[in-house]
Homo-oligomer: A and B are copies of this chain.
Amino acid sequence: MSEIVKTPEPPYYAVIFTSVRMEDDNGYSKMADEMVALVSKQPGFLGYESVRGIDGFGITVSYWESLDAIKRWKDDPLHQIAQNMGKEIWYKHFATRICKVERDNFQTGGHE
């Protein structure tokens, strides 16, 4: 299960990646595991939150210290291969949005 990332005080950056998967795996799961291992070592990476529904629609949000850190990750050679395979094989449609997080608010429910 994904968890809510404990990000630092704003401002920081978020990449909202919304996608619709193709039905067949075609190596997606293995590459996804590799990307998680790789991104976790990236300078400026703060964490990610991810959910995919059984209908193939998914949202992944990754958090970053800076736009430079996002650009370095985008340009990573292995990540470039994954991006190309995503475009060619794994996704029907996707959108990437680069955002500056200006404010945030974390809460725990009143039952606890």
- Residues of A that sit less than 8 Å from B by CB: 1-5, 7, 10, 14, 16, 18-20, 22, 49-59, 61, 86-112
B93 touches A107 (CB 8 A): yes
- Contact for A104 among B55, B95, B104, B112, CB less than 8 A: B95
Ranked nearest first, the 10 interchain pairs of A and B with the lowest CB-CB distance are A99-B99, A88-B110, A98-B103, A1-B55, A51-B51, A97-B104, A59-B59, A96-B105, A51-B53, A100-B100
Interface of A is mostly: strand
Copies in the complex: 2
If A4-B93, A98-B102, A111-B88 touch, whether A49 touches B53 (CB-CB below 8 Å) is no
CB distance from A70 to the nearest CB of B (A): 10
Q: How far does the Cβ of A10 sit from chain B's closest Cβ, in whole Å?
A: 8
| Chain B residue at minimal CB-CB distance from A70 | B103
Inter-chain contact B97/A100, CB cutoff 8 Å: no
Q: What is the bound-complex CA distance between A85 and B10, given in angstroms?
A: 27
